[in-house]
Amino acid sequence: MRGDDIIQGAMFSYVDLNSRVPATHPLRPLKLSVDAILASMSPEFDARYAVLGRPSIPPERLLRALLLQVLYTIRSERLLVEQLDYNLLFRWFVGLGIDDPVWDHSTFSANRDRLLEQTLLRQFFDRVLALADWAGLVSDEHFSVDGTMIEAWASHKSLARQDQDDPPADSGSGGGRNAEVDFKGESFSNATHQSKTDPDARLYKKAKFAEAKLRHLNHILMENRNGLVVDVETTRATGTAERAA
């Protein structure tokens, strides 16, 4: 007998998110380790938040959500918050109930910025490394270092001469925050120009015929036996930055 395709909203929810996640799902052992590390960081979280005031997004949930963004390569916080609204797996991992409201993406970004300004993410990384070391997953016999370029959140339009207070003036066409700029006949160099929105970014390229863009360098120290990242550092983009790091 064919069933009827009747769509009706439920008045009450009896969904247990934990039962919806398969027992063999790879996020299950990861969540156990992450929850244990976050529980050990509770005193550090308490020290960075005021006793009184409106409650913020719990830092534990914020860190779990950021982990999901990395693991599933979600390109923006807007899309991450959107998926948290309808993805039961994501809700379970972060700690949201089936009926819990999801944060606005701007609120999430503001809380994320405050978390990134502290040393909490580095402490979380160090405790993950300590857990891996305790489990015998880190060897001290063979390491390698690799550097990769990271494009800065600054455009060429933010470049100005170091003796100039503002970027080049608008050429007349276009307007607003993304006004058009005429760079015709002007040469750029890190010795003479600097970005006014990201002063640490430098014009950099690795290939001979590639385009020089405003970039930083990210250096990763990898333990080769188990393939674990054991240290990371971001520096200015220079020809000697990788050796110095």
- DSSP, res 178: G
Residue corresponding to tokens 């990769």: 148
How far apart are the C-alpha atoms of 52 and 122, rounded to whole Å? Answer: 26
pLDDT value at 84 more than 60:
yes
Which pLDDT value is given to residue 47?
84
**Highest mean pLDDT, choosing among 46-55, 117-126, 131-140, 168-177:** 131-140
Q: What is the pLDDT of residue 165?
A: 61
- The confidence score (pLDDT) of residue 191 equals 77
Determine the pLDDT at residue 90: 95
Q: Please determine, for residue 178, whether its predicted confidence score (pLDDT) is greater than 70.
A: no
Q: What is the mean pLDDT of residues 212-234?
A: 90
Say if residue 167's pLDDT is above 60: no
Distance CA 120, CA 66 (A): 13
Q: Which of 19-33, 117-131, 183-197, 205-219 has the highest mean pLDDT?
A: 19-33
Please report the pLDDT score of residue 209 as a whole number: 80
- For residues 176 and 170, what is the distance between their CA atoms, to the nearest angstrom? 10
Rounded to 10°, the helix 59-71/77-86 angle is 100
SS3 147: strand
- Residue 221, SS3? strand
Residue 155: C-alpha distances to residues 20, 152, 202, 227 (Å): 45, 8, 11, 35
For residue 169, the model assigns a pLDDT of 53
Contact by Cβ (8 Å): 156, 214 = yes
Note the Cα 56 to chain centre separation in Å: 19
Point out the least confidently predicted range of 52-56, 68-72, 73-77, 143-147: 52-56
Query: Rounded mean pLDDT of 206-235?
Result: 88
Confidence at residue 69, expressed as pLDDT on a 0 to 100 scale: 94
Query: Using 50, 70 and 90 to split pLDDT, how confident is the model at 211?
Result: confident
pLDDT at residue 213, rounded to an integer: 86
User: Is the model's pLDDT at 170 over the cut of 70?
Assistant: no
Structure tokens at 208: 């001979």
Instruction: Give the Cα separation of 135 and 141 in Å (integer).
Output: 16
Under the banding of pLDDT at 50, 70 and 90, the label for residue 79 is very high
Looking at residue 85, what is its pLDDT? 92
**For residue 68, what pLDDT is reported?**
95
* CB-CB contact of 168 with 183 (8 Å): yes
